[in-house]
Amino acid sequence: MELKLFGDLETLLTFSAIIGITIALSWAFNFVARRYIRKAVHKLNADPTNYQFIRHLVTALIYLVGVGWAFLILPGFKTVANSLLAGAGIAAVVAGLASQQVLSNLMSGLFLVLFKPFRVNDRLKLKDGFTGVVEDITLRHTVLRDLENNRIIVPNGVISNEIIVNTNLSDNRVCRFIDIGISYGSDIDKAIGIIRDEVLNHPLHVDPRTPEQLEAGKEEVEVRVVALAESSVNLRAWAWAEDTPKAFNLYCDLLRSIKLRFDAEGIEIPFPQRKLWIDPIRVVQAAAPGS
């Protein structure tokens, strides 16, 4: 008996129309949703995490309903379904194993959106060394964008069970260590004063002190001796900025400005040196005839 999935041309056209409408509806919804999310983020300063996840969820539901409806109108679909039941046992095992990971990622994505260990635009550092800004949280995975504009795709089931560093969870401010070594003959107090002045005068620096610390008279910029190394006295300054990108720019600018100030003020930054001692007796023996 010949098996016909499509009964006639009309059914085929109806099937194609439903699939086409499903794709068009999904595209239109995503177009409108993206514009709404952008406006909400820029005008209302809203968190885009929930909106992005709901957009992906609704898109999946549109495809699920549309494709399911399209297949239900096929007259031969029930016959095909019945013929496939003979292998349903093996198929169920395979589908179960495959769907277990899918459901794990889906549920993990839902928990990420509900409990918010991180949000869209948060900067994360994973235990494998990957660092990036959260760009999107889909039903299956989380997308990170690193400093080189690469996209790091992490399954939701993996990232929800991983130890992560979130620099934006409750406070966006970032502290960068400015480590500089000076020679043992240089004036330590003068060097500390120069470093503190350069940090205070930088436009990206922010005051990290709490009201209690202000009342107690704590220094706005801490600079301390942290090590007595082989050839240098190592100083460290704590420089604060509003967020990670500004902290990086602050760090780079301070390295340059502090180096220029040290040169102008006579503060030496030592570099590794080695002294060679030559045994004169061995040199004479090596130069003797017949040696």
Q: 163-194: per-residue pLDDT in tens?
A: 888 887 777 888 999 999 999 999 999 999 99
Per-residue model confidence as pLDDT tens digits over 24-72: 888 888 888 888 877 776 776 666 777 777 888 888 888 888 887 877 7
Residues 6+ apart with CB under 8 A from 32: none
Structural domains present in the chain: 9-115 (no CATH), 123-166 (2.30.30), 174-265 (3.30.70.100)
Residue with tokens 């549109």: 62
Residues 6+ apart with CB under 8 A from 183: 231, 232, 233, 268, 269, 270
Residue type, 77: F
User: Which segment of 103-107, 140-144, 158-162, 188-192 scores lowest on mean pLDDT?
Assistant: 103-107
Query: pTM for the whole thing?
Result: 0.59
In this model, does residue 83 exceed pLDDT 70?
no
